[in-house]
Amino acid sequence: MKICNVDVVKLKEQFGTPLYIYDKEHLKRNIMLYLNNFKSKEFDTEVLFASKAFCIKEMVRLINSCNMSLDVVSIGELYTALSVGFPMEKVYFHGNNKSLSDLEFALEHNVGTIVVDNLMELIALEDLCKNKNKKANIIIRLNVGVEAHTHKFIVTAHVDSKFGVIYNSNDYKEMMKILKDSKNITFKGFHSHIGSQIFDLDAFTHALEKLIVICKDFDKPLVLNIGGGFGVHYTDEDKPISFDIVSKTLINTCEKALKENNVKIEKLCIEPGRSIVAEAGYTLYTIGYIKKTPNKEYYFIDGGMTDNIRPALYQAKYDADIVGKENELKKHIVTVAGKCCESGDLIIENIPLPEAKPGDLLITYTTGAYGYSMSSNYNKALTPAVVFVEGDEAKLVVKRQSYEELIEREI
C-alpha cells in the first residue's frame, strides 16, 4: 500500500508505529476546493481553517501558504500560530470561557477578530480594552436555534447549548447596549456554528437565512460567519457532500436571502476543519497479539484510545485494512482493540478483515481530524510521530515523544 508514492511499510520502518500519516497533496486539494468555490461578486468571502481539528506548526504553515485564515480556540493554538509567523489580522479567537489573561494575550498580539461568546465575556473585554487602552474587533456568537442531526456531544446549537447567546434575549440586548456606547470595541457581525459531521445542507442554509434576517436590525453591512461542521466519509454509512458544492450552495443561499431581505453584508466566512484534514489522514499500527473468545476475535494494536479517543467518546466508526492484504478475502469479523488498561479501548468493532498475524500492519482511514489533537498520555503512552507525505517524499513534522519528554515536567 502506498500513500502518494510512499510505501507505508517503509514509513513504519523509518518512523515506527503508531504513526499519523497525512497526504499533503490531499490536504491541498481540499483547501483549494473551498478557496476556489467559496466566492461571490456580491460580498467578500473568507475561508478559515478550524485549527482545533489538527493544530501543528506544519499545518499552520500550509494554511498560511494557501492564503487561508485561521480560527483558534485557545492560547495554545494561538501560540502555535504566532510561532510560525501566521498573520494575526487573519486570526479569529473563539471560546466560551476566555480568561482575562487569554483576552489580554489576544489584545497584546493584535488578534484580528475576537468571537465573543456571552455577556460576561463582553463586559470583561470592554473593561480590559479601557484599562489597557486597546482596540478590538469582535463578532458575537449567536445560538440561532438550528439543531443538526448529529451526536449529542457535538451538537452546538440547541437552546441550552453552552455556546453562544440567543438572539433578542436579555443578554443579547444588554450586549447591544454595551457595544453602542463602546469606544474601544468595534462590532463587526455574527458567528454561528450548528454542529459537526453534518450531511444535510438544509441545516446550514436555514441558519444562514436566520442570520441574514437579523442583519435587518443594523444600518451597516455585517460580517457573517456560518462556522463549519461539514461531514466527511468515515465508513460507507456516511454520504458527504463535495466541498465545492457545499461552498457554492452557501454562496447561492446567501445571495438569494440578501436580495429577498433587501440587505447587504460585508463578508461571509466559513470555518472548515475536519473536512480539510480528516480524509487526508491515516493512522498506522502494528498488530500484536490475536485473541479469540467464545463470541469475539480481537486484533490487538500498539496504539488505541490514546491516539484516537473518538470511538470511546463519540462512538465514532472507522474503516481499516491489513497492509498488503487489501484484496484478500475479509472473512474474519474482528474487533480492533488498543493496549490501554480500559475496556472501552476499542478502535473498531465487528469489522471484516483478512486473517492477520502478529507483526502485520493495520491502517485506519480518515483519522486526520481530532486524532493527534485529542491524543493523550493515558497509561503513560507516548504521543505518536506525525509524517506528511507528498510525491515520493516523507517529512517528519512531529517527533515521537520520548520517555524523557513524557516526565520532563514532573518534579
Whether 129 sits among the annotated catalytic residues: the reply is: no
Neighbours of 235 (CB within 10 A): 13
Report how far residue 194's alpha carbon sits from residue 97's, in angstroms, rounded to the nearest whole number.
Answer: 19
Give the residue among 275, 334, 287, 336 at the shortest CA–CA distance from 308: 336
Report how far residue 208's alpha carbon sits from residue 256's, in angstroms, rounded to the nearest whole number.
Answer: 11
Range 27-63 burial, b when 16+ CB lie within 10 A, else e: bbebbebbeebbebeebebbbbbbbbbbbbebbbebb
Report how far residue 316's alpha carbon sits from residue 266's, in angstroms, rounded to the nearest whole number.
Answer: 38
HSE-CB at 378 with a 13 A cutoff on CA atoms is 16
Strand-pair category, 332-337 with 346-353: antiparallel
Task: Compute the C-alpha angle 29/52/401, nearest 5°.
Answer: 95
| Distance spanning both ends of the chain, measured CA to CA | 44
Q: Which one is catalytic: 4, 66, 129, 341?
A: 341
Question: For residue 320, which amino acid is it?
Answer: A
Sign of the Cα torsion 210, 119, 187, 274 reads negative
Task: Compute the C-alpha angle 278/207/172, nearest 5°.
Answer: 115
Q: Find where cell 466527511 sits.
A: 232
Q: Find where cell 481540499 sits.
A: 30
User: What is the three-class DSSP state of 155?
Assistant: strand
- Name the residues annotated as catalytic: 341
